Each structure stands twice: as structure tokens, then as C-alpha cells.
Amino acid sequence: MLDGFKKFILRGNVVDMAVGVVIGAAFASVVTGLTKAFLNPLIKLVAGGEKFSSLQFTIHGTVFPIDDFINACISFVLIAAAVYFLVVLPINALVARMHKSDKPADPTTKKCPECLSEIPIDARRCSHCTQPVMGRAA
């Protein structure tokens, strides 16, 4: 019962949905706060004072605030990096570790040495050309 639940949780689409909804929403407010509290003042220092907060242009009375767009871009990059390094990489490592022990199944067929058709591995005679075949070593 728990094995089925573990396989369901580690399935790609469930992990992607959890990452996108839960972690993304919770982390977005933290990154937005970081951007407004620390990165905006640093950009203002580099840009020369209050120029960054007034970084906008107007067309026919409509204001286009470029500083808000820059904040959104910085927030997006920080959220994407955090989700990738804190969630996606560990999940991929866990899934790779789980699949490392999977070995391929034993073959169930072999080729007939005479006509090269596929026959059951335990067959002693080919069903296509009726030639005798040696045990499993054909």
C-alpha cells in the first residue's frame, strides 16, 4: 500500500504540480520581499538615487512602470532558481537512485540460427523453418 503511494508521489506530474502550486506560491512572497527590501535599494545606489523608482515612460497619458517589470523579472529568476536547486535536483537524484537497482528482464525469445526468426527461448525446433535449435545458447 505504501509502495503504491510512494510511486504516485514520485511520479513526475504530481511533483511538478506540487512544485508549481505550493512551493511557488509560498516562496513568491519571500522573494518579492527580498527584491523590494534589498535589491531595489542596491539598484537605486547603482543607478544614482531615486532614478530607479521613477523609471517609467508615458504614452498618451498611460504610465508604463519599468521598475515594476524589473522587480517581477528578478523575482521570477530567484524563484525559478530556488525551486530548481531545492526541489527539482533532489527529486531527480532520488528517482535516479530508485531506478538504479532496476535490472532488465531476462529475454523470452531467441533468434533461429537458420531463418533468423524470433522463437521462444526454450524451443528445440523453429516453428517457421522447422530446423532443430540448441537449448538456450542459439
Residue 35 has what pLDDT? 76
Write the pLDDT tens digit of every residue in 11-47.
667 667 776 777 677 777 887 788 778 877 777 777 6
Query: What percent of the chain stands above pLDDT 90?
Result: 0
The highest-confidence range among 1-10, 26-35, 79-88, by mean pLDDT, is 79-88
Kindly state the greatest CA–CA separation across the chain. Answer: 91
- What confidence tens digit (pLDDT) does each residue in 46-66 have? 766 665 556 778 888 888 877
Class of domain 2-99: mainly alpha
pLDDT tier, 104 (very low <50, low <70, confident <90, very high otherwise): confident
Please give the pLDDT value at position 138. 40
Q: What is the CA radius of gyration of the chain?
A: 30
**With 0-12 CB in 10 A as exposed, 13-18 as middle and 19+ as buried, what is 54?**
exposed
DSSP letter for 128, please: T
- The CB density around residue 133, as the number of other CB atoms within 10 Å, is 21
* 137, pLDDT greater than 60: no
Domain range list for the chain:
2-99, 105-138
